[in-house]
Amino acid sequence: MKIGVRAHDYGKMEIETAAETLHREGYQAAQLAFPKVFTGIDSYEDITLRHLQRVRKAFETWEIEIPVFGCYMDLANPDETVRSYAVNTLKKCLAYGKEAGANVVGTETAYPRLSREEKARWYPYLLDSLKRIMEEAVRLDAKLAIEPVYWHPLENLDVVLDVMDSIGDDKHLRMIFDPSNLLPFPMPKDQDEYWHKWLSNAGKYIEAVHIKDFYYDQNGQYCPTPLGKGMIQYETISKWLRENRPDMYLLREEMDPQIAAQEISFMKNL
């Protein structure tokens, strides 16, 4: 396994400082959302060729791989203006990601928490957005990775498989697997069976795994916890990783840098 982190959990820094910091913390990889992690970049429109060249050089120097260039956009929004911005930004970031040395550009498929009816209504807009972005991915020979979230249009295994079948290009369209974003409320009774079904059917599309843990409070609200202290049962996921993808990137989200050492140890034991 290659142990990584969502870099902006460490705050905004100069490019070179960020790469050095992550190396010294013991990471091998990082997910980079440029406007959130790098000083002097406040939007995707601020990114220049010089920034991308500095990132590639600094992260290669400090031996930090970049599995995910983060560009999370509201891809399924029915508002044409919002959706066009999302599509155009992701197209630009496919080129940026290649220049920076990233493996994939990663995104979720919406911003708000949607009702069942809204998810169904937004889904055709998601497919339209993906088809337009994939034209650019093919042209650049770059990879987009979509992240399923149960309160977004890309909500469950059946929808993921439908999207992959509709696009029909698993070379350029991949997936980020985040177990914490896939546990509905109320939770499935048998997590082992739940994860086995996900990984057996969609594991071949996974480019990176987001690692975090949480519990639901009495009102059904998400509450983050240190790894191993919450509701995620990692045994089936760990077994699948060892048997099928021992080279997988494990990217810690919601990292508390004060307990980084024990969190890294937990991920290594996966």
Report whether 103 contacts 67 (CB < 8 A): yes
Per-residue pLDDT at 231: 92
Write the CB contacts of 225 (distance below 8 Å, at least 6 apart in sequence).
213, 214, 215
Beta partners for 222? 216
Per-residue pLDDT at 250: 97
In three-state secondary structure terms, 162 is: helix
Per-residue pLDDT at 232: 94
Average pLDDT over residues 30-41: 98
Per-residue pLDDT at 187: 80
Confidence of residue 220 (pLDDT cuts 50, 70, 90): confident
Average pLDDT over residues 18-35: 98
Q: Which of 187, 196, 231 is nearest to 212 (CA)?
A: 231
Mean pLDDT of the chain, nearest integer:
96
Query: Which of 38 and 218 is assigned the larger pLDDT?
Result: 38
Per-residue pLDDT at 136: 98
Per-residue pLDDT at 222: 87
Per-residue pLDDT at 230: 94
50, pLDDT greater than 90: yes
Confidence of residue 12 (pLDDT cuts 50, 70, 90): very high
77, pLDDT greater than 80: yes
- The predicted-structure confidence for 147-200, as pLDDT tens digits, reads as follows 999 999 999 999 999 999 999 999 999 999 999 999 987 788 899 999 999 999
Write the CB contacts of 232 (distance below 8 Å, at least 6 apart in sequence).
179, 180, 183, 191, 212, 213, 214
CA dist 4 and 39 (Å) reads 21
Confidence of residue 65 (pLDDT cuts 50, 70, 90): very high
- The predicted-structure confidence for 125-155, as pLDDT tens digits, reads as follows 999 999 999 999 999 999 999 999 999 999 9
